[in-house]
Structure 1
Amino acid sequence: MALDVDAVGFLFPGQGAQNVGMGKWLCDTYPVAEQLFRQAGEVLGYDLAELCFEGPAERLNATKYSQPALFVTSMAAVEVLRQEQPELVAKARCAAGLSLGEYTAVCFAGGLSFENALKLVQRRGEAMQDAADQVDSGMASVLGLQLDVLEQVCESVRQGDEVLQPANLLCPGNIAVSGHLSAIGRLEAAAKEAGASRVVPLAVAGAFHTVLMQPAVAQLREALSETPPTDMPMAVYSNVDATAHRDGSDVLQLLAEQVVSPVRWEDSIRQMMADGIEGFLEIGTGRVLQGTIKRIERRFPMDGFGDGAA
Structure 2
Amino acid sequence: MGRELFESSPEARAVFEEADSVLGFALSRLCFEGPEDVLRQTENAQPAILVTSVAHLRANAQLREARPSFVAGHSLGEYTALVAAQVLDFADALRLARERGRLMQEAGRQNPGGMVAILGLDEALVEEVCRATGTYVANLNCPGQIVVSGGKENVAQAAELARSKGARSTVPLQVSGAFHTPLMQPAVEGMARAVSELSFADPVIPIVANTTARPIESGEAVKAELLDQLCHCIQWHKSVEYMVNEGVSTFTEVGPGQVLTGLIKRISREVELVNTESKRIARS
> TM-score category by the smaller chain?
over 0.9
Residue by residue over 1:83-108, the C-alpha shift from the partner in whole angstroms, topping out at 9 and shown as x without a partner, is x325x742422100000000110111
Q: Structure 1: state its 5+ residue gaps.
A: 1-21, 159-163
Partner of 2:58: 79
Percent identity reads 40
Confirm or deny that 1:225 pairs with 2:228. no
Among 118, 135, 144, the residue aligned to 2:94? 118
Q: CA deviation at 1:146?
A: 0.7
2:184 & 2:202 partners in 1: Cα distance? Answer: 28
Q: How far apart are 1:135 and its partner, in Å?
A: 2.3
Letter in 2 for 1:44: L
1:93 paired residue number: 69
In structure 1, the partner of 2:83 is 107
Match of 1:10 in 2: none
Matches within 5 A, 1:1-310: 22-81=1-60, 84-85=61-62, 89-158=65-134, 164-306=135-277, 309=279
* Cα deviation 1:181-239 (Å, max 9, x = unaligned): 01112222211111100011000000000000000000000000011121111000000
> What is the number of residues matched between the two proteins?
280
- Tell me the distance in 2 between the aligned counterparts of 1:45 and 1:197: 45
The 3-state SS of whatever aligns with 1:167 is: strand
Q: Measure how far apart 1:57 and its partner are.
A: 1.2
- 1-structure distance, mates of 2:102, 2:159: 30
Q: Is the 8 A contact 2:249 2:270 kept in 1?
A: no
Shift of 1:285: 0.4
Q: CA deviation at 1:34?
A: 0.9
Matched residue of 1:93: which SS?
A: coil
1:77 maps to amino acid:
H
**Partners in 2 of 1:152 and 1:134 — Cα distance?**
27
Partner amino acid for 1:263? Answer: I
Opposite residue 189 of structure 1, the aligned amino acid is E
Letter in 2 for 1:111: V
C-alpha distance in 2 between matches for 1:285 and 1:186: 32
Give CA deviations for 1:53-102 in whole Å, capped at 9, x if unaligned. Answer: 11111111110000000100010111111xx325x742422100000000
Root mean square deviation of aligned Cα:
1.3
1:44 CA drift (Å): 1.2
Name which of structure 1's ranges 294-303 and 284-293 shifts more when overlaid on structure 2. Answer: 294-303
- C-alpha deviations, 1:92-125, integer Å up to 9, x for none? 2210000000011011111111111111111101
- The TM-score with structure 1 as length reference comes to 0.88
User: RCO higher in 1 or 2 (8 Å CA, sep ≥ 6)?
Assistant: 1
Measure the CA separation in 2 of the matches of 1:91 and 1:224.
Answer: 27
SS of alignment partner, residue 72 of structure 2: strand
Normalised by the size of structure 2, how large is the TM-score? 0.95
Give how far 1:157 is off: 2.7
User: Deviation of residue 173 (structure 1)?
Assistant: 0.4
Aligned counterparts of 1:157 and 1:180: Cα–Cα separation in 2: 10
Whole-angstrom distance in 1 between the partners of 2:271 and 2:249? 8
SS of match in other structure, 2:20: helix
1:303 aligns to what SS in structure 2? strand
Q: How far did residue 240 of structure 1 move? A: 0.9
Structure 1 stretches of 4+ with a deviation exceeding 4 A read: none
Distance 1:25 1:223 in 2: 33
Q: Which residue of 2 aligns with 1:4?
A: none
Match of 2:231, SS? Answer: coil
**1:89 & 1:131 partners in 2: Cα distance?**
39
